[in-house]
A and B are shown apart, each in its own frame.
Chain A
Amino acid sequence: MTKKQKKLIVFITSLCGMFAIVPAANAMHIMEGFLPVSYCVIWGLICVPFLVIGFMHVDKQVKENRQTMMLLALTGAFVFVLSSLKIPSVTGSCSHMTGTGLGAILFGPCVTSILGLIVLIFQAILLAHGGVTTLGANCFSMAIAGPLVSFVLYQLLSKTGVNRKVNVFVAAFAGDLFTYCVTSVQLAMAHPSPTGGFGYALIKYLGVFAPTQIPLAVIEGLLTVVIVIGLETYAQDELKKVGFLKKGVQN
């Protein structure tokens, strides 16, 4: 290859990089039809126990107080709207939050799993992000695994008395990162490399998505901090209501 060609390739790759981040938006939603049937079913089944626990928890809350339904619906709509908003970015590109870290910190993993499931269904229907057949896989990575990591980290760090801002940031950031890893694992399992197998495919997937997902996780973490601090400053009463939603999770 001539030097000129090399230059061209470097130029194009960097351009690619710049624009690739652009709509990488919800790139971590596995799209419709990308997974073989067996994996769709397996991931769906894996979600079931988590969703059942979440459902029973939510059901109990609603039976105790019917008005909880309204709060749940509003928070669900909030998570959806949050995930469909364009977040600020340096390059003027466009990407979106997942909102899962925030959900886990504010409402706990049980409520987040159910709301996450519904939000994912709506994202598939209204935004064409993700899909029906890949709902199980996406639900596991975004509504279950990510929020669980965020929640556990948040609880642990709260006990150690770390600065709250740092705590929230780490929880949201790690949740996002974990979602990204789980999705890569899911993809690598479904499409292992013919030569290197699962491990090699995993590395490739992790590598391909890293440039978009890692900055996104950082921004998500920062935004989550701003949101949580904002809520704590202005909405003590409402947080109590939300905290009521979260109650009963620890036990």
Chain B
Amino acid sequence: MERIVQILLITAAVLMIIQGFLHRRKHEKDHSHSSFGHKHDGSVFSIDFYAYASRLRTWSPKYKAVFSMVCLLCCIICDNIYVSCAVILLMAYITVVMGGLPFRRYLSLMTIPLVFLFFGCVAIAIGFSGSPSGDFNLHLGFFYVYTSKESLWETLELITKALGAVSSMYMLTLSTPASEIIAVLRGIHMPKLLVELMNMIYRYIFLLMDTQCRMKNAAVSRLGYCDFKTSCVSFGQIASNLLVVSLKKGNAYYHALEARCYDGELRFLEEEKTVSAMQTAGALLSVSLLLCIWRLTV
């Protein structure tokens, strides 16, 4: 028994290390990338970038939002490992095969929440105690790390549930640009102020990111990131400068809006994307399938 726990621990550790390495490599790559140009800035806005490239972009955003939310809720409400696995597979199929996202990219996106998942689950799966009180115990000097079959199973259920939920969200976000999601929010009568703010913020995020990138390059080129202390100071100064510069530009942005008859409300022409009968049928079929699985396995 001790063996098994040891193996589990070691596997977890190895996974963490691999994940850590991947993450670091990804960041190093982004780093060299960002010094060259700030577009398609890998780690930061990859989801946004894929959303525009997805083949599912022609689908109605409302449809995608409703479908992904229903699947997400299925995952959480059913709280059933088989349903969760079905959702994971289904969503991966939709995003990767139908949406045309490279599978490796999809996998690397799935690692984003992995860290939280790891920590969150460790706390559930294992316990510490002075005596060996679980099914599996590991003696570490003064105390025992223990776990039980039930809590392991519970953890596994939680992991699949969370991954199912995440993949449902990915189905939406990897096929629908934020502006369309905001339009859906407007459709469900989110307060106007919030919707408008979101629209503007979405646009300005990219402007600010751009400015920040240039400032950072300028700082790096003057050795502003040579050691930890300098890095902190440079980082802070760039951040404060970024706020100042953008607030100063605020006037110009506002004038540009007013020059085109802005009267306090942002109005855009939105495409009407219709939902085909096939899509409706597909969604109904998938959801009933999920419910069937649930009924059969409860």
Contacts and interface: CB of A to CB of B under 8 A. Distances in A.
Does chain A bind chain B? yes
A170 interface: no
A228 to B, nearest CB: 8
Nearest to B14: A12
B55 to A, nearest CB: 19
Contacts of A181: none
A132 interface: yes
A40 B69 CA distance: 14
Interface stretch (A61-69, A139-147, A149-157): A61-69
Given A22-B24, A37-B77, A94-B24, A227 B112 contact: no
A122 B51 CA distance: 14
A16 B240 contact: no
Main secondary structure of the interface of B (DSSP, over half): helix
Interface in B75-97: 75-77, 79
A187 interface: yes
A85 to B, nearest CB: 7
A78 B208 contact: yes
Nearest to B170: A128
A55 B197 contact: no
B76 A88 contact: no
Main secondary structure of the interface of A (DSSP, over half): helix
Given A9-B9, A235-B240, A69 B169 contact: no
B193 A94 contact: no
Contacts of B6: 1, 5, 9
B254 interface: yes
A124 B201 contact: no
Contacts of B275: none
A196 B127 contact: yes
Contacts of B79: 36
A13 B13 contact: yes
B20 A20 contact: yes
B105 to A, nearest CB: 13
Contacts of B289: none
Interface in B175-231: 178, 181, 191, 193-194, 196-198, 200-202, 204-205, 207-209, 212, 225, 228, 231
B115 interface: yes
Given A90-B228, A125-B181, A242-B247, A33 B75 contact: yes
- Residue of B6, B158, B173, B247 with highest tally of chain A CB at under 10 A: B247
B123 A31 contact: no
Nearest to B44: A84
B50 to A, nearest CB: 11
B159 to A, nearest CB: 10
Nearest to B49: A126
B101 interface: no
B235 interface: yes
16 contacts: A5-B6, A9-B9, A32-B165, A33-B161, A34-B165, A37-B77, A69-B196, A74-B204, A88-B228, A92-B24, A122-B202, A122-B205, A126-B47, A126-B173, A204-B123, A231-B240
Interface of B: 2, 6, 9-10, 13-14, 16-17, 19-21, 23-24, 27, 44-45, 47-48, 69, 72-73, 75-77, 79, 109, 112-113, 115-117, 119-120, 122-124, 127-128, 133, 138-140, 150-151, 158, 161-166, 168-170, 173, 178, 181, 191, 193-194, 196-198, 200-202, 204-205, 207-209, 212, 225, 228, 231-237, 239-244, 246-251, 253-254, 257, 264
Question: 4 tightest A-B contacts by CB?
Answer: A33-B165, A226-B236, A19-B20, A230-B240
Given A15-B13, A40-B76, 5 more contacts: A20-B20, A74-B249, A82-B239, A114-B194, A117-B194
